[in-house]
Structure 1
Amino acid sequence: MTAISEPRIRCVGAIAYDTNGRLLLVRRRNPPGEGLWSLPGGRVEPGETDETALMREVREETGLSVTVGALIGTVLRPAPQGAYEIHDYACQVRSGSLMAGDDASDARWADAAILATLPLVEMLHATLAAWGRLPRR
């Protein structure tokens, strides 16, 4: 008997910090996670690499240009028809001015104290903690 796997939607997320060690976050404007804070990112479009998709998504959501580094980890989140397979990468901000755009209703840098007060998407804090990627301050 063969197992039937649920359809997976490939997505990417950016784990980026400013020079003070604060984590880059966006508040989701649309489902899934509408109104909650998350890492900037989104779906990988057909023909895109993870790197290209992540640079596009971060620019659209935050106004920032990033260099994409190493894969930090992958998580699965429920989707209406399957699962979001989210590949989170370390990113370095190169340029731009932080401002919410596209799918984000707000964007900010969060230190550890601020992060603890924000309504986050499910399992974000625990996942970042497990990966050793919480804000440095």
Structure 2
Amino acid sequence: MTTLRTRVAAYAVIADSERILLCRISAQLPDLAGQWTLPGGGIDFGETPLAGMIREVNEETGLAVEPIDVAHVDSFVRPTPERTTHHVRIIYRARVIGGELRHEVSGSTDRCEWWPKDSLPPLVDLAEIGVRLAFAV
């Protein structure tokens, strides 16, 4: 019997007029490894989406951020033989208020970089949404 699960995650679009902050997916997720995504991830039980976004961004990038607004919410269902997961994604626009950019160690991402909007790396769909939100493309 397939298990049903809901996963709520919160992410940040951190950008200026010319560049966006993205994180490279690590080998921990072999199907997506090497592609780039928005910083963020799953929220912990009892954690608000906003607190989860702030924590996840800090874990993945070393940066402290504050929200500007909720930019996008979506959801989709992904079935596998073992489990069917309903993914809910909340994307905030955010600005950096402190910290120093660094790479996550032993996590779902392994590198974070600022990318110019006209020279982006291979993106997962979440990052494509973030680029559209950041640059209205």
TM-score relative to the length of structure 1: 0.79
8 Å contact kept, 2:38–2:126: no
Deviation at 1:27, TM superposition (A): 0.4
Aligned partner of 1:57 in structure 2 is: 56
Aligned partner of 1:43 in structure 2 is: 42
Q: Say yes or no: does 1:72 pair with 2:71.
A: yes
**In structure 1, C-alpha distance between the alignment counterparts of 2:23 and 2:33, rounded to whole Å:** 11
* Letter paired with 2:125: E
Task: Work out which of the residue numbers 13, 16, 36 in structure 2 matches 1:15.
Answer: 13
8 Å contact kept, 1:23–1:111: yes
Report sequence identity in percent. 26
8 Å contact kept, 2:13–2:130: no
8 Å contact kept, 1:62–1:98: yes
CA RMSD of aligned residues (A): 2.4
Task: Work out which of the residue numbers 104, 109, 112 in structure 2 matches 1:104.
Answer: 109
Between the two proteins, the alignment pairs up a number of residues equal to 126
Q: Say yes or no: does 1:87 pair with 2:85.
A: no
8 Å contact kept, 1:23–1:134: no
8 Å contact kept, 1:26–1:104: yes
Q: For residue 54 of structure 1, give the secondary structure of its aligned residue in structure 2.
A: helix
More strand by share: 2
Unpaired stretches in structure 2, ≥5 consecutive residues: none
Unpaired stretches in structure 1, ≥5 consecutive residues: 1-5
Q: CA-to-partner distance for each residue in 1:66-118, whole Å, 9 max, x for gaps?
A: 00221100133554531321100010101111111133211001111221xx1
Q: For residue 124 of structure 2, give the secondary structure of its aligned residue in structure 1.
A: coil
TM-score relative to the length of structure 2: 0.79
**In structure 1, C-alpha distance between the alignment counterparts of 2:126 and 2:9, rounded to whole Å:** 16
